[in-house]
Amino acid sequence: MQPITLRGRAIVEGRCKAEALVSTTPISFLGGVDPADGKVAEKNHDLCGKCIKDKVLCFPHGHGSTVGSYVLYSLAKKKLAPKAIVNQKADPVVVVGAIIADIPMIDQIDITQIKTSDLVEVDVYNGFVKVLKRKES
């Protein structure tokens, strides 16, 4: 396939290449993600039971308690954090979380162009997300 390049706004600098985990639902990190194992714990969430460790985590935006920022820090300390965060519209909880946990983050990306298990490259320095390889479906 031809790589698809999606341009966005840099939030936290960094660069990585990893598998995407894509959600259509906002994520609340406090209560929504288990800080002990990095799995989405919120019932009825489309990622429920999925582990966010080492993924390029794509979701529309965060919501819920601002304590959620600290959950991202805690996940990073336990090496359970995502490799990068890709949002449609950044919100304060996730932005602060990504800063303190030092997780590359970019927003204003059309995440509907990315599918779970796609291999994606995130380059926040240059402000883009590139879908390199689509998972065979």
Partner 1 sequence: MYLTKEEERIYDGEFGWANQICMKILVRLGELFNATRLIPINSAHVSGVSYKTLGDAPSDFLEALANADARVKVKATLNPQSFDREYLCKKLPQYLCQKQLDIMTYFEKMGFTESLTCTPYYLENPKRGSHLAWAESSAVIYANSVTGAWTNREGGPSALAAAIIGKTPNYGIHKAENRQPKVLVKLEKQLQSEVEFGALGIFLGKILEDKIPIIQDLQNASKDNLKQLGAALASTGMVNMFYCETRDIKFSEIEKIKVETRDIKQTIEDLTTTSTPEPDLVFVGCPHCSLNEIKQASELIGNGKIKDGTEFWVCTLHYIKEKARKYVEKIEKSGGHILTDTCAVVTWTDKLGIETIMTNSAKTAHYAPTLNKAETIFAPLKECLKTAFKG
Contact residues toward partner 1 (CB under 8 A) are 11-12, 30, 35, 65-67, 69-71, 73-74, 77, 90, 92-93, 95-96, 99-100
Smallest gap from Cβ 91 to partner 1, in A, equals: 8
Smallest gap from Cβ 58 to partner 1, in A, equals: 19
Distance from C-alpha of 135 to C-alpha of 137, rounded to nearest angstrom: 6
Contact 59, 22 (CB under 8 A): yes
* 137 is annotated as an active-site residue: no
Q: State the DSSP H helix or E strand holding residue 33, giving kind and residue range, or none if neither.
A: none
Spot the catalytic one: 23, 65, 74, 137: 65
Residue 72, φ and ψ in degrees, nearest 5: -65, -40
Nearer to partner 1, 23 or 69 (CB): 69
Task: Compute CA distances 69 → 96, 107, 124, 132, whole Å.
Answer: 6, 17, 20, 30
Smallest gap from Cβ 46 to partner 1, in A, equals: 23
| Residues with active-site annotation | 65
